[in-house]
């Protein structure tokens, strides 16, 4: 089983057409089936929390899951399935979804997210790029490998701060309304964190008093946005 394919399916870094094209290989292997389930839960959670999911996107997600379910059912060994088993599986899926949503409510709060590696830097780069960047370009600016960059973007997407959409052969990452508000709030707080001896001139030259490069970039961005 191709590890890159498994990683893409689990992380939601694969579009529905690509997922359906690979479904035979995935369903034929235990790790592929686990990746489909984990990725499906993640995709559902993103859409439950999203303020940008439209009717077409929801219909595409529903259709994809139904086609995968139909394919799995068609190749399953013939035999009677007890209705109680079906109920048990459905209730387990609902329990997983509720558990994921509950965990997300805490883990994806802005104040908690800000402490996660690369999250603040990602919003900085998007802010300076006008709110939209190609996924590959954004990951390159973060200095991350593809797999790690994808995980950061999945975290931000699940938190409803960014959306990933296909634009031709490219995947674009852009702010949601919440993401833009969060970035501006962080820019503003970074500006307020300047100490009394951190003059604008000194700050523009580089980080002061142990300030991290990311926090410095946020502060400079805040000054630029206010015209200081």
pLDDT > 70 in the chain, percent: 81
- pLDDT tens-place string over residues 7-58: 999 988 888 899 999 999 999 898 999 899 988 888 888 887 776 667 788 8
Higher pLDDT, 90 or 183: 183
Please name the helix (run of DSSP H) or strand (run of DSSP E) that holds residue 49, with its range, or none: helix 30-49
CA within 13 Å, CB half, 166 = 10
pLDDT at 65 over 60: yes
How far out from the chain centre does Cα 102 lie?
A: 17
DSSP, res 77: P
- Sketch the domain layout of the chain as residue ranges: 3-101, 113-226
What is residue 91's predicted lDDT score, i.e. its pLDDT? 74
What is the chain's length?
228
How many other C-beta atoms are found inside a 10 Å radius of the C-beta of residue 131? 16
Q: Which fold has domain 113-226?
A: Arc Repressor Mutant, subunit A (1.10.10)
């Amino acid at each position: 089983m191709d590890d890159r394919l498994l990683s893409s399916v689990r992380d939601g870094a694969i579009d529905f057409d690509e997922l359906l094209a690979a479904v035979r290989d995935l369903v034929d292997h235990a790790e592929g089936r686990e990746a489909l389930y984990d990725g499906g839960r993640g995709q559902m959670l993103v859409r439950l929390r999203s303020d940008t999911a439209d009717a077409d996107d929801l219909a595409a997600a529903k259709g994809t899951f139904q086609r995968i379910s139909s394919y799995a059912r068609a190749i399953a060994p013939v035999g009677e399935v007890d209705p109680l088993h079906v109920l048990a599986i459905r209730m387990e899926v609902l329990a997983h979804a509720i558990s994921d949503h509950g965990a997300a409510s805490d883990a994806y709060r802005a104040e908690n997210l800000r402490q996660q590696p690369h999250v603040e830097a990602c919003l900085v780069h998007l802010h300076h790029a006008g709110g939209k960047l190609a996924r590959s370009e954004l990951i390159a600016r973060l200095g991350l490998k593809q797999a790690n960059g994808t995980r950061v973007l999945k975290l931000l997407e699940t938190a409803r701060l960014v959306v990933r959409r296909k634009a031709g052969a490219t995947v674009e990452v852009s702010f949601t309304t919440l993401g833009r508000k969060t970035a501006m709030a962080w820019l503003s707080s970074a500006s307020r964190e300047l100490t009394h001896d951190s003059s604008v001139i000194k700050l523009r030259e580089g980080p002061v008093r142990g300030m991290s490069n990311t926090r410095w970039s946020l502060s400079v961005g805040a000054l630029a946005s206010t015209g200081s």
